[in-house]
Structures are given as C-alpha cells and as structure tokens.
Amino acid sequence: MALQRLVFDVYLEPDVEGDPPLEHRVEVRHGDMLRGELECGKQGIGSPKVVPLAVTTVWVWCALAREGIVSVPFQEFREKVIQLAAVKDAPHDGAMTDGNGAVEVPPTMPDLSGLPSPSLITSEAGSPTGSTPTSTND
C-alpha cells in the first residue's frame, strides 16, 4: 500500500513591513485534517470536493499551529497567506517513494502463509488450542 505525503510550501506576509515573506514547508498529518474538519465547521467552509483550496488552507494552518509556527486564529492566518503550493516528491526521511511522492509502507502483519492451519496446532495436552477445556473435577 502506498501512502501519499501531504507536504506544502506556504509563504506568509512578514510581521514587519518591508521584510521578505516568511517561507515554511509543512507536512499535513491525519490529526491536522481532523482538527481542520472541526475548524471548517466553525468557519462555515464546505467539503474538500467543493472548496479544496479553503480546506487545504485550514489543514496547513493546523499543521503550522501543531509545529508551533503560527498561533493566530484562522481568520487572521488566511489573510497572511501569500501563496500555498503542494510539494511533489517530498523526501520522506530516506524512505523509498514510487516517483509520485507515494511512500511504500511495509505490511504490519507478518507473512503467515508458511505456518500450519490453526486447526492443526494442538496444545501440550493434545487438544486443539481453539477448543473449550472440559472440567476433570467430578
């Protein structure tokens, strides 16, 4: 299974007039998206299919807040955004990508195909491990 990393470059207006724009690269994580859904509801922003740029901006704001880069309310943040762009083929801490930015994730379960069927495994007493023990106290 390949997971797509959501990495964005964002340029914000500087705090001091005349300074160059503030540039940040941030990865949007699942928790950022969840917080973003709540914020979208508060802000009256629709679904990603209807208003993808607005929702992406909320996700980026949540990611920047998580990293401690911004601490302003969303209304103020969106006025400071100069440019927001997805980063293609962002490096993933040395992980192999498929060339489209998707990272190959190893399976979380070991390969069990070479093991015997559970019905063939027996306990030390000789009964199948899945069977219900019977009482020997009469």
| pLDDT per residue as tens digits for the range 123-137 | 455 544 444 445 455
**pTM of model > 0.85:** no
Render pLDDT for 12-59 as a digit per residue (tens, 0 to 9). 999 899 999 999 999 999 999 999 999 999 999 988 889 999 999 999
What is the pLDDT confidence band of residue 5, given thresholds at 50, 70 and 90? confident
Do 8 and 26 form a contact (C-beta atoms < 8 A)? yes
Q: Residue 46 corresponds to which amino acid?
A: G
Give the dihedral sign, CA 13/65/93/87: negative
Predicted confidence (pLDDT) per residue in 86-133, tens digit:
998 766 554 444 445 454 544 545 555 555 544 444 445 554 444 444
**Tokens 């994730």 — which residue?**
105
| Residue showing tokens 């491990």 | 129
Pairing of strands 22-28, 6-12: antiparallel
To the nearest 10°, report the CA torsion of 15, 19, 23, 24: -30
